[in-house]
Chains A and B, each alone.
With several copies, the nearest count.
Chain A
Amino acid sequence: MSDYRAEELLIDVIAAMLEGLGHVAVGASSPIPGAAALLARERSDGGMRVSVLGSRRHNFFTDGGRELFDCAAQGRIDAFFLGGGQIDGQGNINLVGIGDYPRSKVRFPGSFGSAYLYFLIPRVILFRQEHNRKILVPKVDFISAPGVSDANVYRPGGPHALVTGRCVFRFDKPRRRFALATIHPGHTIEEVRDETSFDFDTPDSIATTPAPDAETLTLLRGPVAEALAETYPDFAARVFGELVTR
């Protein structure tokens, strides 16, 4: 077991999915996707722009709250991140609540921009660190944003992958379902099956998610940690702080 944190592996695996993109946006309360975007930017040699909502320094919008959405609709955002109180096997996400709407047993904050951005941004990466049967369900109780749409619906965007604390699923758009891609070190396929209550495809050979290499860890604990700390000081201190060698 090498000297990295679980979060660093997740950041690294998400960053790999952003390689070569021109503009990655990160929503509110998303330190791991935020760090991943900043890591990908570090690796891009100036080729990638990252917009972090809630950041003063890494936010290039000057037209008010609508600009992120307009910008996405203009095709100027290549990747974004969404989570979900529930996520189902068709890529539907639920940010509204559990139980019968509107009097949800468990009420989440709300759909935010998901019902829009999931349609318009080509590469939407679903991220939820917790991975259990209550979250990864066969069918969400409320569709904040659907994973797939009918052919006549204007939809340049949609789910690309689902990253959890246990594994990575790729979304298979034609089959409208997830396929297990890699399992994180220390986790097993049985565990993933046990903790996932939706059906997914399992290729013959499943690789282990590669651990972050030394160069990645240097970037993470250096410039990425520093850039992230502006928006997520607590997270940056907790995850990168103790390991920073400077």
Chain B
Amino acid sequence: MTRHLSTVRDLASMIDSGARVAVPPDYSGCAMAAVRELIRRGVRDLHLIGVPQAGFQADMLIGAGCVGTVESAAVTIGEYGPAPRFVAAVKAGAVRVLDSTCPAIHAGLQAAEKGIPFMPLRGILGSDLVAHRDDWRVIDNPFGEDDPIVALPAIRPDVALFHAGVADRFGNVWIGVRRELMLMAHAAAATLVTVEEIVDDDLLADERTAAGTIPALYVTALAKAPMGARPIGLGERYPADDGHLRRYVELARTEEGFRRYLDEFVLAGEVPA
């Protein structure tokens, strides 16, 4: 049954160094408060999986030295420019990048969701991605003739970590049309969620809300974190804190600046809501 934890710190403590952690992109609900807890705790060697890409949280975790491998179709903070700590870590060889492509991430998670060892996928052949991914195979379509197709191994995260608007007291989490979060939860061994609010209700009782709900069955633990996605935004609830993110990008151009950012907003303080 879903554990209701009283602090985000308790939730983040369930992620060990070395864990394979699936995270959403910046527009799909990121558990930033939990990410800051991970940095404070100094976890190491995470295998971060961007579903299908990763943004601000990846850049911060990489900059803070928490990440050993990032597996993603992209690392980007979008309109704010290149992800500075990611770019620096790549140049320094400080992080292993498993470059992927969006549908390959989704397909790998779907393979895990279905409990199958691999998923075939069209396209990709001839991309240098294939050349550099020794965990991918090119096989013959058993229903075709001279018809090569990429076989992608299942992606089975240890943890899916994200932030959502509403959960109920049973542990059901409403995600609306952000069904990549449901796919993450199905595929992952454990799913940890921070939410804006926990309602005294049953989201599955009404089919109108059930249609956009991850059942508690897949939700390992929950913690309430109001404004928990800040400084990035959360769907229609609140926008990103533009000024804060621009300042981050500016500071994180250098290692020193990034350290100053961490000191101010992670280690000594908190991001303003």
Chain A residues with CB under 8 Å of chain B are 23, 28-29, 46-47, 49, 54, 56-57, 60-66, 69-76, 95-97, 101-105, 107-120, 142-146, 149-150, 152-155
Contact = CB atoms under 8 A, between A and B. Distances in A.
29 contacts: A23-B217, A28-B78, A49-B1, A60-B217, A61-B177, A64-B177, A64-B181, A66-B107, A73-B115, A75-B115, A96-B99, A96-B128, A101-B128, A107-B87, A107-B90, A109-B75, A110-B73, A110-B100, A112-B74, A116-B104, A119-B123, A119-B125, A120-B123, A143-B127, A144-B101, A146-B126, A152-B146, A152-B148, A153-B148
A75 B190 CA distance: 12
B103 A116 contact: yes
Given A66-B110, A66-B183, A69-B106, A149 B126 contact: yes
A25 B146 CA distance: 31
Contacts of A152: 146-148
Nearest to A102: B97
Contacts of B126: 143, 146, 149-150, 153
Interface stretch (B34-42, B207-215, B259-267): B207-215
Contact of A110 (B28, B53, B93, B180): B53
A118 to B, nearest CB: 7
Q: Which 7 A-B pairs have the closest CB atoms?
A: A73-B115, A64-B179, A110-B74, A119-B123, A109-B76, A69-B103, A66-B106
Contacts of A116: 101-104, 121-124
A114 B97 CA distance: 18
A46 B72 contact: no
Nearest to B124: A115
B125 A64 contact: no
Contacts of A71: 186, 217
A52 to B, nearest CB: 13
B86 A70 contact: no
Q: Does more than half of chain A's interface fall in helix, strand or loop, or is it mixed?
A: loop
Contacts of A70: 103, 113-115, 186
Given A65-B52, A73-B115, A111 B129 contact: yes
Contacts of B1: 46-47, 49
Nearest to B74: A110
B114 to A, nearest CB: 5
Given A65-B106, A110-B74, 9 more contacts: A62-B177, A62-B204, A70-B115, A71-B217, A73-B122, A111-B129, A113-B52, A115-B124, A146-B127
Contacts of B102: 65, 69, 112-113, 116
Given A103-B93, A109-B83, A49 B122 contact: no
Nearest to A113: B102
A154 B1 CA distance: 28
A153 B106 CA distance: 22
A213 B91 CA distance: 47
Nearest to A141: B128
Contacts of A149: 125-126
B82 interface: yes
Given A113-B73, A116-B121, A66 B180 contact: yes
Interface string B192-204: 0000000000001
Nearest to A94: B128
Nearest to A106: B87
B132 A102 contact: yes
Interface in B145-195: 146-149, 177-183, 186-187
B49 interface: no
Contacts of B103: 66, 69-70, 113, 116
Most buried by A among B78, B104, B115, B178: B115
Contacts of A118: 123
